[in-house]
Structure 1
Amino acid sequence: MTILGRLFAVIGFIVVIGGVGSAVYFKDEIRAAQNLDPKAGSVYLDMMKTVLKTGNAAEATVWRVPLADGVSAADAETAMRSVANEYNIKNVGELPLSSEVEAITGKPHRLLKIYMFCDPLTAVRMLDFSDAFSAYLPCRVAMVEDKQGKAWLYTLNMDMMIHGGTTLPPELKAEAEKVRDTILAIMRRGAAGEF
């Protein structure tokens, strides 16, 4: 056997030993990962790609849609309220943060307004599954004017909640996916100004 052949044999041996050692050391984590929702891996992989690309963990946990050219903030707001009514999801509050900042400082501030939507029955079912879901309630859509003057709609990436852990019970998963799809419709149609 040549020196190169021996070197590859040693490297192969080290890799095998490392793999076996890792499997033994991380056996509990490996077993726990097997109980996650089948889409959990892709959800976390997408998040990691975004973190590596942007260096910003918050960017990895949100979805965003730009307002279409010619769509004003007022048009987007009206459209979002209309879509929420169409899908029978409650508008449970609004936080006009930029107006609050202006009132406190006396200076104009770029647009920042948060809209809160909720399907109360789905919300309590999610809470029955895990009290930690309360931190995600109600579903929020933020309208933000970026530093270049372009308006965007942001919301949390709900796939983390739906697919990021153990698989939700089928009925609850279907309800959560319906709420996710509704929030995305509110954002898409709001950004397009579609009433």
Structure 2
Amino acid sequence: MRKSFITALMAMGIAFFANGCSTMHMGWTAVTQQHKLDDKAMEAYDNLFSEVTEYGDPARAMMNEYKVNEDVSNEEVIESIKALAEEYNMRVTGDVKMFTIPDAKADQVKYVENVSMCSLYIAKVFLNHSRYFGGFMPCRIMLVEYGNGDRYLITMDLTLAIHGGYPLPPEMLKLATHVSTAMTEIPARAAKGDF
């Protein structure tokens, strides 16, 4: 009994030490290297981590979501997205209906359509800065409908892409802010059927 109790305490100590070291390393890095990062970096990472700890879903923490009004049809939502893309100087680069499941249960995904868009000029500027920005391209807005009729527009939150590292040069920051505004306002407006 005593031996198993001591073994359990040792295991807990090792686990705490391993996790504590990771946490301490993250904190130490943040404190000592923060001066190199964008002024909004720590807040952005804190918001991401808070979302992950609240919901346990890292994908949710990296996305923005907009509930679609009941009186707006799927076709109107997609038309609205495409019309608004032009208003924000974004080019629609794709429209893919991923799937439809007519008899989906209330809590299951019934319909998914994905509209992609990009500003080719901005894409070129960012790819010349870092090819890894290509992972964010093209920007996407996904329409997701559940069997119960609830519908949402989902798009990536670009905060970390913009503020999560070293500060972007001023012109790039201006371009990135334009894209972020577009990818926030387009789905918010399309969810209401705005044209």
Same topology, TM > 0.5: yes
CA deviation string 1:63-86 (max 9, x = no partner): 010001211111111111111112
Matching residue of 1:189: 189
1:177 aligns with 2:177: yes
Unaligned segments of structure 1, at least 5 residues: 1-21
1:52 aligns with 2:49: no
Q: TM-score, normalised by structure 2?
A: 0.79
* Number of residue-to-residue matches in the alignment: 168
1:168 aligns with 2:148: no
Where do 1:49-128 residues align within 5 Å?
A: 49-99=50-100, 110-128=110-128
Matching residue of 1:134: 134
1:143 aligns with 2:150: no
Alpha-carbon distance in 2 for matches of 1:193, 1:89: 18
Does the Cα contact within 8 Å between 2:116 and 2:140 map onto a contact in 1?
yes
Matching residue of 1:13: none
Alpha-carbon distance in 1 for matches of 2:190, 2:152: 10
Which amino acid counterpart does residue 87 of structure 2 have in structure 1?
Answer: E
Alpha-carbon distance in 2 for matches of 1:30, 1:130: 26
Comparing 27-36 with 62-71, greater Cα deviation is found at 27-36
CA drift at 1:147:
5.2
1:34 aligns with 2:58: no
CA drift at 1:180:
0.9
CA drift at 1:144:
0.7
CA drift at 1:51:
0.7
Alpha-carbon distance in 1 for matches of 2:103, 2:114: 20
Alpha-carbon distance in 1 for matches of 2:111, 2:141: 13
Matching residue of 1:14: none
CA drift at 1:41:
1.0
Which amino acid counterpart does residue 53 of structure 1 have in structure 2?
Answer: E
Q: TM-score, normalised by structure 1?
A: 0.79
Which amino acid counterpart does residue 82 of structure 2 have in structure 1?
Answer: R
TM-aligned CA distance change 1:26 to 1:79, over 3 Å: closer
Unaligned segments of structure 2, at least 5 residues: 1-23
Does the Cα contact within 8 Å between 2:103 and 2:110 map onto a contact in 1?
no
CA deviation string 1:102-145 (max 9, x = no partner): 6xxx9777111111010011011111111111110000111111
CA drift at 1:28:
5.9
Which amino acid counterpart does residue 63 of structure 1 have in structure 2?
Answer: N
Does the Cα contact within 8 Å between 2:80 and 2:193 map onto a contact in 1?
yes
Alpha-carbon distance in 1 for matches of 2:171, 2:73: 38
Larger strand fraction of residues: 2
